[in-house]
Amino acid sequence: MSVSTVSTAADRPVRAPLPVLGRDVTVPLVTGGEVVHAALDYAASAPALQRVWDDVAAYAPHYGSVHRGAGHLSRLSTDLFEDARRTVAEFLGCRLEGGGGRGEGDQVVFTRSTTDSLNLLAAALPDGCEVFVFETEHHAALLPWRNARVTCLDAPSSPRQAVETLERALADRHPHGPALVCVTGASNVTGELWPVRELAAAAHAHGARIVLDAAQLAPHRPVSVRELDVDWVALSGHKLYAPFGSGVLAGRADWLREAEPYLAGGGASRRVTRREDGTVDVEWHDGAARHEAGSPNVIGVHALASACRALTEAGFDTLAAREEQLIRTVRDGLADLPEVRFLSLFGDDAPRVGVLSFVVAGWDGSHFAAALSAEYGIGVRDGLFCAHPLVRGLLGGGPRDRGECGAPGTVPGEKALGAVRVSFGVGTPDEHVERFVRAVRELVRDGARWSYRTVDGRCVPDASR
């Protein structure tokens, strides 16, 4: 289904804590007419905050190279880039110079995304480092540790069990070698909050370090490196309402300083000479620049800093309280449907951010998501959400290969083929979530009103109907 028009829906008051782009975009319905698009896939990529867009637009005419030019706009852009570093450091509660008893402050390295940040850290692990991850992690946190010995821990059934599982695993490890724990702050599948502070304490008690994957946590809750006492935090701008290709790895400087530059090139090198024997000699920077080779993404970084400021000013307490209401609207609105089962590790009432995944008896997830889009103008995600071990476990066995969508699907009691995920945030008006609840109820009760078929692995409305 393609977006057909963009119009101003002046007759529709949109109530959301912070305005985002796309709030007036309409999409066609397969059953006729148009509707304002309900973007309920924030966990994949959140829309840009209006404020972020405005800040980017205000800066764009002044755009210039960073760390590279003598001209006025280059200097302005360099200042903006370094201001953004300070803003992000503050947003993430980074430890100041000499803080944390470590003798040096935290470093903010700008990357492309959480995936990029965790791969950067993986490339900076000291020799012999062991890595501990739960099998529940997003692939971005599960897979980068290719040069380390990785212990993949069983999915816990409570936050307490998570800490106990980690403690047991760390107690069994070689006590003197370097070790890293990588853990998510909020699951991209269940939205559940993980006991980060307790896991950090367990890691440190056993001489290990910890990196927090805050891709899903940072858009919903305050994240403080200092207060959580984690060694690093990684996040993505596009999930934090700043979709301009930037990400962050913030935290301890020592492993990063000792590692080879993540990318080799201009900006990472302080001095390059050609030796008499024809080889090249390089002296690398040892600050954040060591891992930021190439021309920096100043627009992306400026956008990220703008989002950090907007979220801080709006106040996470206010934002989280509103999000709780939306979660309740979904849970209460579907509570009496036995066909709908929410996925959860820690139990239905566990604290979570605005990310909920579910299966519907009798439906393949891709068929259900396609009907939500085509018949109600609601954008969600379906599948295994780049967390295959977790979702397979929660679905109760490996999902079979995808069948033909819309064909007689699974029946109640049968295993689902994939889940559906609904997620929201600061730009979500009540109406989007209410429409979602109504749509799920109608689809479960009456079935789809249209036929669907699978094209290139995706379920789509059947145009020939």
List residues with catalytic annotation: 386
CA–CA gap between residue 104 and residue 226 (Å, rounded): 13
Nearer to ligand PLP, 133 or 439 (CB): 133
- Contacting ligand PLP within 141-160 (CB under 6 A): 141
Neighbours of 25 (CB within 10 A): 17
CA–CA gap between residue 145 and residue 127 (Å, rounded): 12
CA–CA gap between residue 283 and residue 270 (Å, rounded): 6
Q: What tokens appear for 273 in the block? A: 């000479």
Could you tell me which stretch among 47-55, 128-136, 210-218, 296-304 binds ligand PLP (CB under 6 A)? 210-218
**Which of 424-457 are b and which e, b meaning 16 or more Cβ less than 10 Å from the residue's Cβ?**
bbbbbbeebbebbbebbeebbeeebebebbbeee
Could you tell me which stretch among 4-12, 113-121, 225-233, 255-263 binds ligand PLP (CB under 6 A)? 113-121
Q: How far is the CB of 186 from ligand PLP (least distance, A)?
A: 7
Nearer to ligand PLP, 116 or 375 (CB): 116
- Contacting ligand PLP within 218-247 (CB under 6 A): 236, 238
Nearer to ligand PLP, 36 or 369 (CB): 369
SS3 call for 310: helix
Which of left, alpha, beta for 93 (phi over 0: left; psi -120 to 50: alpha)? left
- Contacting ligand PLP within 359-398 (CB under 6 A): 386
Q: How many residues bind ligand PLP (CB under 6 A)?
A: 14
Alpha helix stretches (DSSP H) within 60-157: 72-91, 114-123, 139-142
Q: How far is the CB of 76 from ligand PLP (least distance, A)?
A: 28
Q: How far is the CB of 187 from ligand PLP (least distance, A)?
A: 7
The C-alpha R_g of the chain, in whole angstroms, comes to 23
Q: Is the dihedral of CA 54, 83, 427, 139 positive or negative?
A: positive
Residue 190, interface with ligand PLP (CB under 6 A)?
Answer: no
Residue 216, interface with ligand PLP (CB under 6 A)?
Answer: yes
Could you tell me which stretch among 81-89, 108-116, 265-273, 411-419 binds ligand PLP (CB under 6 A)? 108-116
Q: What tokens appear for 150 in the block? A: 């990785």
- Contacting ligand PLP within 166-185 (CB under 6 A): 184
Q: How far is the CB of 21 from ligand PLP (least distance, A)?
A: 18
Contact 400, 415 (CB under 8 A): yes
Residue 140, interface with ligand PLP (CB under 6 A)?
Answer: yes
Nearer to ligand PLP, 326 or 390 (CB): 390
Residue 136, interface with ligand PLP (CB under 6 A)?
Answer: no
CA–CA gap between residue 282 and residue 126 (Å, rounded): 21
Q: How far is the CB of 309 from ligand PLP (least distance, A)?
A: 21
DSSP 158-212: SHHHHHHHHHHHHHTS-SSS-EEEEEESB-TTT-BBP-HHHHHHHHHHTT-EEEE
Could you tell me which stretch among 78-86, 112-120, 431-439, 447-455 binds ligand PLP (CB under 6 A)? 112-120
Q: How far is the CB of 118 from ligand PLP (least distance, A)?
A: 7
Nearer to ligand PLP, 213 or 382 (CB): 213
Contact 437, 328 (CB under 8 A): no
Q: How far is the CB of 184 from ligand PLP (least distance, A)?
A: 5
- Contacting ligand PLP (CB under 6 A), which of 85, 95, 138, 432? 138
**At CA 39, angle to CA 38 and CA 44, rounded to 5?**
160
Angstrom CA distances, 3 to 37, 39, 437, 460, stand at: 9, 13, 23, 15
Q: How far is the CB of 280 from ligand PLP (least distance, A)?
A: 32
Nearer to ligand PLP, 80 or 140 (CB): 140
Nearer to ligand PLP, 27 or 141 (CB): 141
SS3 call for 100: helix
Residue 188, interface with ligand PLP (CB under 6 A)?
Answer: yes
Contact 326, 354 (CB under 8 A): yes
Could you tell me which stretch among 111-119, 204-212, 251-259, 439-447 binds ligand PLP (CB under 6 A)? 111-119
Could you tell me which stretch among 110-118, 196-204, 219-227, 260-268 binds ligand PLP (CB under 6 A)? 110-118
Burial class (CB within 10 angstroms; exposed 0-12, middle 13-18, buried 19+) of 411: exposed
Q: How far is the CB of 113 from ligand PLP (least distance, A)?
A: 3
Angstrom CA distances, 253 to 70, 303, 450, stand at: 29, 24, 56
Contact 235, 101 (CB under 8 A): no
- Contacting ligand PLP (CB under 6 A), which of 107, 115, 136, 366? 115
Interacting residue ranges for ligand PLP, rule: CB under 6 A: 113-115, 138, 140-141, 184, 188, 213, 215-216, 236, 238, 386
